[in-house]
Amino acid sequence: MTGGFANPGLVADSIVDLCGALGLAVAMATLRRRDPRGALARRFLVAMGLVAALFLLRALGWWSGSVLLGRLALACAALFPLGALTVTEGMLRRHAPRPVKIAVLAGSLLLVLAGLLGFDEPGRTYDLALAGFQLLTIAFCGLLLFRRDQASLTVSENTSVWRLGLCAFLILPFALSDFRELLPGLPVRLGGVGALLLVSILLVTGGAAPARRQRFAMLSLRVVAALLLGLAAALVTPDAGFAHAARLCAVALAGVLAIALAVDALSSAFDAEAPGILDSLARSRAQTREALIAQLATHPLFGSARRLDEAGLADYDPAILRPALHGIGVLHASGRGWPWPATDPAAERLAALMASHAASHLLVLGEAPLDLLLVTVPVVSADPATETALALVRRLLATAPSEAAA
């Protein structure tokens, strides 16, 4: 459509769609990296690719005024129900009824052909047909998921089916907002926002419950922050009405979600290229405690680590420290979690020991005789993941045979 730059609504729609395409592309790359050869992953990639292509072609068509790009975008939208059905079959590990598969295939092809031939020009009739076809197909996919044979699926598969169905239901209003001919009063299309929310939720639902809650909290913070940013931008805009505020909120939310997906994907890729502490030890062929510590010395956290035996602890009364450290794994220099009061002789000596070596953590590798490892963790690296890694490293080192004992 020409004159798109002068139409605030069209500009907002274009930005939201471009962000949606970017976020879906990032999610596809993440899914491919997690499961490069999985059959279900390939089905998801096809469905997500159709939606990403729809957003990209539609936005480019609006900005360039190209009729061909607009029709290709409609073709992608018409093929999406077919992609949704294939994903549903993959989730259930069952084929859909043959008549339904034929009807969905025929409907998709007819709508693709009608869009390419320009029968969408009247607008409302084609939009009604496309919206009805998509809703009926998604509703049938939801029925298949709801009436599935739960005994034929694993617990994790049943959980994934439930989450996918819930997310698809929640983003349905966002998808309907894309049909401007049916809902002409909406100030901005929200299909891109709905797609970004869907992939963001799906990507944070894995893992243990505590980690999942943390990721949901981060996602909620991003959503709230983006909406507040959009409202703040509306407040500084003179005479901004509801429609303009809604567009700013949609653009801010789409941008924040797309950037967050890209940053998370890059962070995961960088972490995979640079093995962490536990990865290094898991791949190590070292057989003794000394060899493991020598390998750990190549890691930044352990580059300045100091190992002390009873001879090196002579100034700190090993006879007092030995019984006090019985059953202790890791101590933090702050005194957090110490089982002794600050005035206890053992606590005073341990505090002095860690202060003299500027150590943030003390790892007890052996008790008889004492074998301690003092580690300095920078403040920027002191997070729960590092604390957990230190505890696991200490356990691995403590169970490894020592050359002196051998």
* 93 φ/ψ sector (left φ>0, alpha ψ -120 to 50, else beta): left
Residue 252 — pLDDT band, cuts 50, 70, 90?
A: very high
Residue 64 has phi, psi (to 5 degrees) of -95, -15
Q: Which pLDDT does position 400 carry in this prediction? A: 84
Chain segment 224-237, per-residue pLDDT in tens: 999 999 999 988 88
DSSP H/E element including 362: strand 361-367
Q: Can you tell me the mean pLDDT for 239-256? A: 90
Q: Which pLDDT does position 210 carry in this prediction? A: 61
pLDDT at 48 over 80: yes
**Residue at 355: amino acid letter:** A
Cβ(196)–Cβ(20) below 8 Å:
yes
What's the half-sphere exposure (Cβ side, CA atoms, 13 Å) at 216?
Answer: 10
Instruction: Please give the residue that has the higher pLDDT: either 205 or 317.
Output: 317
Helices 39-64 and 8-34 meet at what angle, rounded to 10? 160
- Integer CA distances (angstroms), 215 to 203, 219, 220, 335, 381, in order: 9, 6, 9, 29, 19
- In terms of Cα–Cα distance, which of 11, 124, 117 is closest to 63? 11
Cα 50-39-263 angle, rounded to 5 deg: 60
Q: Which pLDDT does position 274 carry in this prediction? A: 56
Q: What is the largest CA-CA distance in the chain?
A: 91
Cβ(227)–Cβ(287) below 8 Å:
no
Residue 382 — pLDDT band, cuts 50, 70, 90?
A: low
Chain segment 107-153, per-residue pLDDT in tens: 999 999 988 887 766 567 888 888 889 989 988 888 888 888 888 88
Chain segment 319-342, per-residue pLDDT in tens: 999 999 988 989 988 888 888 998
> Strand, coil or helix: what is 332?
strand
Rounded distance between C-alpha atoms, residue 266 and residue 288, angstroms = 36
Rounded distance between C-alpha atoms, residue 45 and residue 36, angstroms = 10
Residue 65 has phi, psi (to 5 degrees) of 75, 15
* 95 φ/ψ sector (left φ>0, alpha ψ -120 to 50, else beta): beta
Rounded distance between C-alpha atoms, residue 140 and residue 96, angstroms = 10
